[in-house]
Chains A and B, each alone.
Chain A
Amino acid sequence: MFGLDKKDTMLLLLVAALTALAPFLLNPFPEGSAMAQFNAGYPDLMQRFVIFGIFAIGFNILFGLTGYLSFGHAAFLGVGSYAAVWMFKLLSMNVLPAIVLAVVMSGIFALLIGYVSLRRSGIYFSILTLAFAQMMFALAYSVLTPITGGETGLQLALDDPRILDGAVAANGNIPVPGLFGMEMRDSVQLELGAWVFTFNFGYYFSALVMLISFYIAIRIFRSPFGMMLRAIKANQQRLNYTGLNTRPYTLAAFVISGMYAGLAGALMASMDPLAGAERMFWTASGEVVLMTILGGVGTLIGPILGAGAIKYMENIISKINSDILHSWFAFLPDGLEDLLVTLVYPFIGKGWHLTLGIIFMLVVIFLPGGLVEGGQRIARLFKSKKTDRSAPKPQIEPGE
């Protein structure tokens, strides 16, 4: 289907089904129950899942295929956000022109930065991209305040021109981003017994965009262009010696992944029309690296999994407080309960970053292939056990 082989089609359909059913899947616990805090099926969080999924998919096209570790990718996310908000201010609250402008602008920035940075590789490339991103962050924060809103960020205002649909909505408020009459924040709630499921238009729009980006990513992975990028990762020197200029390929990968980041930024601005410089800070760049690594570098599904896992944990873990912990360990004797709570407490709530750092280190140390490799290992474990049982006699392997 769509020019994909059977396995990839299955993968695409699986992701499509997961995203379509996410409001159900992420809300397994009834409303008001003790476990309801583990529900993630509310629009704001689901939107973040898919948006960061797009960001990570794009980052993976660069890092996963070519091996170039960019530490400044958040800059393109920021550019995308700013471009989208400007489109909302000047032209229309329709998200399509905003997304188009964001992708184009981030593509241009990626072209310029990539052209310079890709002259070096390895750690120099990382530091160059980091330097560019930090520069853009510093400028957005200070000198470019008329364009970026500086510290307060870029926000919509009542007196914006909005040439196409007028500055003020019918009710006298600032209009909200939408798509041909549908507002991004429109939601339908479905109550089934104790469960409440929310279907949000913004989420489904972002999910559709993510599926399209995922499809494009699969096509890139399977194309001759993708093969070339992998060859660059495997041995760039050898490619150069065969008389091939690798730079156009790496530059194309860089621009594509920058455009993905810009797309994610535009969607972020579409869900909540506001853009701030902190989106470009280098910790934000670090975050997308974490997502890709956690999920699995160079795999198709990995970045989406990683983005989902990190955003889920961020939301859930930072919500847990000591009262909740006490109620969890209430079945234990008092002394033991307090001890456990004190032990766990540093890792929850505001300690989320500590947990994140530890998970990240553990993944890099023990599971460089991320969650995908973890899944494969577990699958192999089960498989080998099964084969052991069915074939107790050692089989003779044919020589290669």
Chain B
Amino acid sequence: MDAIILQILNGLDKGSAYALIALGLTLIFGTLGVVNFAHGALFMIGAFCAVTLSRILTLSHVVVDSTKTDFLGRPLEVQVPYVYDIFGEATGAAIIDWAVPLSILFAIPVMLMVGVAMERGLIKYFYKRPHADQILVTFGLAIVLQEIIKYFYGANPIPTPAPSAFTGSFDFGAILGFDPNTIIYPYWRLVYFAFAAVIIGAVFAFLQFTTFGMVVRAGMADRETVGLLGINIDRRFTIMFGLAAAVAGLAGVMYTPINSPNYHMGMDFLVLSFVVVVVGGMGSLPGAVLAGFLLGILESFASMREVIDLIPGINQVIIYLVAIVILLTRPRGLLGRKGVMED
């Protein structure tokens, strides 16, 4: 029993990342009808927003500390971040420690801008072209973005730690009445799950309860009629693209402490996220979220030692296997709407 709970918990954080990326993909597909292969790159750019901010915050200048000496007897040279000068040492240290959560504030405008620029600059010319062209051009864009990041940040993963308040682990077992230390779960993963839940909730609330969201939903159902009613639906869809980019970016920002960002993380997640979207049902937002968590949890179950002993290699292929079975038995996906991409 405790093993099962542990696997479910383990699946949640990866599932959250899948769900967030798949949500963005589905938003773009549902509104603009574009298959965006560069969405993984947006996830990666978000992660590198966190890296950038923590680099900016730790920009420092050299101060000579005359009270201490180094091993050669010279006065010690200390690197002092500028943040210390501005906010004082205690607050400055706290700010640097909280660089990753602070990056959220930094990433939202950046990602919105990147998303809108991408839609206005490239994607809008591809609405009328076949899906194959859309796949190909966004695939090319993904390569370009990832190489630019590689040029500026290098090819190695860059460790970006979580705030020290979240470095420990949380003992679930003790709460649920199991032996202590049987079900432990890192705090940051818990934070990630909560964060994902908030973002997903916010996106759904935005679509469900605001006028803007209502118009967007109407546009998803019948773009032409909404346009005929005198609403500038294209502009709203552009904003939705920016929003989807921001969702992917935030998923990336918060994922950095779990997995050190490197330039190909976007591609790694992209393939899986597409599978998630297909399993959930093309164009269905709840489907994307559900499938994201489902596949994340399935993946973590498949990597249990007992399961691997039974079927070797299952942890590597389980997601693809599920996708194949779903596509062949229920082509519409778990919660897919009728008539969306059914050819």
Q: Flag whether B317 is at the interface (Cβ < 8 A).
A: yes
Which B95-142 residues have C-beta < 8 A from chain A?
A: 122, 125, 129, 131-133, 135-137, 139-142
Report B-chain residues with C-beta under 8 Å of the C-beta of A357.
140-144, 147
Q: Does A282 lie at the interface of the complex (its beta carbon under 8 Å from any beta carbon of B)?
A: yes
B320 within 8 A of A: yes
Q: In the docked arrangement, what's the CA distance between A97 and B136, Å?
A: 37
Query: Is residue A379 within 8 Å, beta carbon to beta carbon, of the partner chain?
Result: no
Closest-by-CB residue of B relative to A122 is: B343
Q: How far is the CA of A365 from the CA of B331 in the complex (A)?
A: 31
The listed residue (B125, B267, B271, B324) touching A365 by CB distance below 8 A is B125
B131 contacts A364, CB within 8 Å?
no
Chain B proximity mask over A156-168: 1 for CB below 8 Å, otherwise 0: 0000000000000
Q: Is the CB of A134 within 8 A of B320?
A: yes
Does A291 sit within 8 A of B, measured CB to CB? no
B324 touches A282 (CB 8 A): no
Given contacts A134-B320, A138-B317, A354-B148, contact A286 B312 (CB under 8 A): no
Known: A120-B331, A122-B131. A353 touches B136 (CB 8 A): no
A130: which B residues are within 8 A, CB to CB? 271, 274
Residues of B within 8 A of A144 (CB): 313
B324 near A132 with CB under 8 A, answer yes
Contact of A120 among B137, B144, B327 (CB under 8 A): B327
- Name which of A67, A139, A346, A354 has the most chain B CB atoms within 10 A of its CB: A354
Q: Shortest beta-carbon distance, B257 to chain A, in Å?
A: 26
- Does A123 interact with chain B (Cβ within 8 Å)? yes
Candidates B135, B139, B316, B343; contact of A143 at CB < 8 Å: B316
Residues of A within 8 A of B144 (CB): 354, 357-358, 361
Main secondary structure of the interface of B (DSSP, over half): helix
Does B147 lie within 8 Å of A354, measured CB to CB?
Answer: yes
Cβ of A386 to closest chain B Cβ, rounded Å: 33
Q: By the criterion CB–CB under 8 Å, are B133 and A124 in contact?
A: no
When each residue 361-374 of chain A gets 1 if its CB lies under 8 Å from chain B and 0 otherwise, what string results? Answer: 10011001000000
Inter-chain contacts of B312 with A (CB < 8 A): 143
> B209 near A: Cβ within 8 Å?
no
> What residues on A are CB-neighbors of B313 within 8 Å?
138-139, 142-144
Also in contact, A289 and B274, with CB within 8 A (given A142-B313, A351-B151): no
Q: Does A9 contact B (CB under 8 A)?
A: no
| Number of chain A residues close to chain B: CB under 8 A | 40
B78 at the interface (CB under 8 A from A): no
Cβ contacts under 8 Å, A365 to chain B: 122, 125, 137
CB pair B320–A131 under 8 Å, yes or no, is: yes
Question: Could you tell me the distance between the alpha carbons of A121 and B205 in the complex, rounded to whole angstroms?
Answer: 34
From A126, A293, A354, B151 is in contact (CB under 8 Å) with A354
Q: Cβ of B327: which chain A residues have Cβ within 8 Å of it?
A: 120, 124, 127-128
Shortest beta-carbon distance, A62 to chain B, in Å?
12
Which A residues, 341 to 364, have Cβ-Cβ distances below 8 Å to chain B?
Answer: 346, 351, 353-354, 356-358, 360-361, 364
Q: List 22 A-B contacts (CB under 8 A).
A: A69-B135, A120-B331, A124-B278, A124-B331, A124-B341, A127-B275, A127-B323, A131-B323, A131-B324, A134-B320, A138-B313, A139-B316, A354-B144, A354-B151, A360-B139, A361-B141, A361-B144, A364-B133, A364-B136, A364-B137, A365-B137, A368-B133
Q: Name A residues whose Cβ lies closer than 8 Å to a Cβ of B.
A: 67, 69, 116, 119-124, 126-128, 130-132, 134-135, 138-139, 141-144, 282-283, 286, 289, 293, 346, 351, 353-354, 356-358, 360-361, 364-365, 368
B contacts, CB < 8 Å to A? 35, 122, 125, 129, 131-133, 135-137, 139-144, 147-148, 151, 267, 271, 274-275, 278, 282, 312-313, 316-317, 320-321, 323-324, 327-328, 331, 341, 343
Since A353-B143, A361-B144 are in contact, a sample of 8 more A-B pairs with Cβ atoms closer than 8 Å, ordered by chain A residue number, is A67-B132, A69-B135, A122-B131, A123-B35, A127-B327, A144-B313, A283-B267, A357-B143
